[in-house]
Amino acid sequence: MKESLYQTLGVERTASDAEIKKAYRCLAREHHPDVNPGDQEAEERFKVIGAAWDILGDPKKRKLYDEFGEDATKMGFDPEQARAHKQWQEQSRWRPGGQRARSVDQQAEIFESLFGHRHRGPRSGPDLHADLVTDLRSAALGGVRSLSFGDGRTLDVRIPPGVDDGGRIRLRGKGAPGTAGGPPGDLIITLHVQPDPVFRRDGLDLHMDLPITVVEAVRGARIQVPTLDGRVTLSVPAGAQTGQVLRLKGRGVHRKNKPAGHLLVRLMVQAPDGPVDEELLGKLQSAYRSDLRAHLTAGTA
C-alpha cells in the first residue's frame, strides 16, 4: 500500500504546520544530493519528500489532500468538479429494490447541468495545471525535471535558467484533448523551488554563511567554498570579522539576457570547540587594542 504524504514526512495527520515544516527540513537535509553525492536512492527520496512538502506545506493544498486523498495531487485536479461529480454519483446510485434513481437521459441532464452544456463542432481541450518541485540548482542554472502523471506516464520538462519560485511554464498542446477534432489544450506547470540547506536566494544573488576559525580570521586564509556549479577558492583577508561579506562575482543565479547574479558569502567566526591553553588565551586577549563594547555605554549616565 502506498504511503501517505504524512507517512512520507513521518508526522501524524493532526500535526501542526510547524511540526510538518520541522520534519521536512530534517528529512531534506538528511537526503539532500549535496550531502549524499552519487546516492541515487537518496536523491529519489529527496524528490518524494519535496513533493510531500509541496502539498502539506501549503494549507490550501493540505486541506484538499485531507478531503480527496491522493486524487488531489494529480495533474489537472479540480476540486469543484470533483465535488460535483461526487454529487452526481450520489444522485444516480442504485436504490433498494434494484431500481435506478434516474433514467439515463435524466442522468445526462444532471451531468450537463454540473459540468456544462453540450458543445457541437470542434472545440479546444481545456488547459491542465500541474505542480513541479525542483531544487535550487536546477531553478538557478536550468535543467530538466521529470513530471509524473496520474496514469503513470512521465514528461521531461525543461526548466529555463533563473526561474523563480512560483514561476510558470506553458507547454503548448500538452493539455486535455479537444473534442470533435479540436486541438488539445495547454499544460501549465507551476514550479516550486525547495529550500536549500546551503544557499539563500535574493533575486539573482545567492547568500551563504561560511564558518571560519579564529586563526583563519586573524591570519587570513584561502578556503574552498561550494557554488552552484562547483567549488571555488575564496580568499579571506587577515583580520576578518563575523558578519563581513565577501562577493564571488557571477556565481549566483543565471537568467537569459541578464548578467549572472553573485554569491555573497557572510563570514562567521567560530570559537574553538575544544580546550584552549590559558596562556594562549591571554596572549589572544592582549591583541585587542580597543574596547569592543565602548559604544554600548555612550550616552549613559
pTM of this prediction?
0.55
Query: Each residue of 117-153: pLDDT tens digit?
Result: 455 678 888 888 888 888 899 899 888 988 887 667 7
208 and 182 housed in the same domain: no
Whether pLDDT at 106 is above 80: no
Query: Each residue of 36-65: pLDDT tens digit?
Result: 888 888 888 888 898 889 889 989 889 888
Whether pLDDT at 82 is above 80: no
The pLDDT-based confidence of 12 (bands split at 50, 70, 90) is very high
CB 246 within 8 A of CB 222: no
Domain boundary among 139, 168, 196: 196
Q: How far apart are CA 10 and CA 24, in angstroms?
A: 9
Query: Each residue of 208-264: pLDDT tens digit?
Result: 999 999 999 999 999 999 998 899 999 999 999 999 999 999 999 988 888 889 999
User: Domain range for residue 222?
Assistant: 200-271
Higher pLDDT, 180 or 109: 180
What's the pLDDT score for residue 229?
Answer: 85
CA atoms in the 13 A half-sphere facing the CB of 230: 3
Q: How far apart are CA 268 and CA 261, in angstroms?
A: 22
Domain boundary among 170, 196, 222: 196
Whether pLDDT at 87 is above 90: no
Residue 251 inside a domain? The answer is yes
Domain boundary among 154, 178, 196: 196
Whether pLDDT at 15 is above 60: yes
Residue 239 inside a domain? The answer is yes
Residue 183 inside a domain? The answer is yes
**CATH code of 216's domain:** 2.60.260.20
Q: Say how many domains are in the chain.
A: 2
Closest CA to 139 of 50, 201, 227, 51: 201
Residue 133 inside a domain? The answer is yes
131 and 189 housed in the same domain: yes
Residue 75 inside a domain? The answer is no
210 and 254 housed in the same domain: yes
Whether pLDDT at 88 is above 60: no
251 and 230 housed in the same domain: yes
CB 128 within 8 A of CB 175: yes
